[in-house]
Amino acid sequence: MEFTLLGAAAVAVAGFWLMLRWEAKRGNAAGCSLDLWDAGLTAGAVGLFAGRLVSMISIGISPIPNPSQIILVRSGVSTAGAAIGAAVMFAYLARKSLIETADAIGPAILAGLAGWHAGCLVTDSCLGAVSDFPWAQTVAGSTVTRHPVELYAMVLFGVSSIGLALWKQYGRPPSGAVAGFTITALGGIRLVTESVRISLSGGPIWLYSMALMIGLGIATSSIVHSRNARTRRDH
């Protein structure tokens, strides 16, 4: 793994940690039976490992005779493999209080992703498709202006993270709603920014779309269930 990528990972971990610390002062995770810091890092590491394995296998490299290839993260990580691996590991770790833990860790996950995309400033990989917008940027030595797509993602994930954290603090959202909107943001933001990314094959649109629909379903169900329960109490 190259040092610039390690720098981007460090920014992501810092964003995750800062949001956990900020929310901890406001009583976050009171109903959880799990340490959010450990759970988040473990799920992230497992996701990275799974994504690398899927990437290797997809290009015909067997991880068994080539174990050293696993650590060459810069050579490719499957987004779908990493996301599914991290989600499965998190669900396993938080199985005793999945909804409460997912609600508690949601904003920190989005803050970590905001940090990861901000890491493009370290790796010098912020730019995407060609653009003539006033804020478009150029690569050194080129006159072609491009969308700073990774900075778009950084802002969207950051705003989503802060918005959900404030909603938790002041709005008293129903159980499961924050988790649902976290998943919605994970899929929706990648769908929105995918059209201006540079990619030979394109991202896993099916995964982003599925996350968007599942997240909206969970959030909507939680809100409707909460309102129905409140209505029954009032009558």
3-class DSSP state for residue 54? helix
Whole-angstrom distance, CA of residue 194 vs CA of residue 188: 10
CA 35, 179, 213: angle at the middle one, nearest 5?
Answer: 145
| pLDDT tens profile 99-141 | 999 999 999 999 999 999 999 888 888 999 999 999 999 988 8
Those residues whose C-beta lies under 8 Å from the C-beta of residue 198, and which sit 6 or more positions away, are: 127, 128, 129
State the average pLDDT over residues 204-228.
Answer: 94
What pLDDT is recorded for position 77?
Answer: 76
pLDDT at residue 180 tops 80: yes
Residue 87 lies in a domain: no
pLDDT score of 60: 83
Report the pLDDT value the prediction gives residue 183, as an integer from 0 to 100: 97
Residue 154 structural domain: 14-25+106-234
Q: How many domains does the chain have?
A: 1
CA 9 to the chain's CA centroid: 13
CA–CA separation, 164 vs 129, rounded Å?
A: 30
Residue 36 has pLDDT above 50, yes or no: yes
**Can you tell me the distance from the alpha carbon of 216 to that of 181, in angstroms, rounded to the nearest whole number?**
7
Q: Rounded to two decimals, what is the model's pTM?
A: 0.90
| 186 within 8 A of 111, measured Cβ to Cβ | no
Give 65-95 pLDDT, tens digit per residue: 776 666 665 557 788 899 999 999 999 999 9
- Domain contains 50: no
Average pLDDT over residues 4-21: 87
**pLDDT score at 110:** 97
Contact 201, 80 (CB under 8 A): no
pLDDT of residue 32: 64
3-state SS class at 197: coil
d(C-alpha 176, C-alpha 178), whole Å: 6
Evaluate the CA torsion angle 135, 140, 141, 147 in order and state its sign: negative
**CA–CA dist 136, 219 (Å, integer):** 35
- 178 pLDDT above the threshold of 60: yes
Provide the token pair at 227.
């309102």
Average pLDDT of the chain to the nearest whole number: 87
Q: Which among 109, 82, 118 is positioned nearest to 215, based on CA atoms?
A: 109
- The string of pLDDT tens digits covering residues 141-156 is 888 999 999 999 999 9
Look up tokens 């790796």; give the residue: 123
Residue 1 above 50 pLDDT?
no
- For residue 134, is it within any domain? yes
Report the pLDDT value the prediction gives residue 31, as an integer from 0 to 100: 58
Assigned domain for 170 exists: yes
* Beta-carbon count within 10 A of 188 CB: 20
* C-alpha separations of 160 from 52, 53, 63, 108 in Å: 28, 30, 37, 10
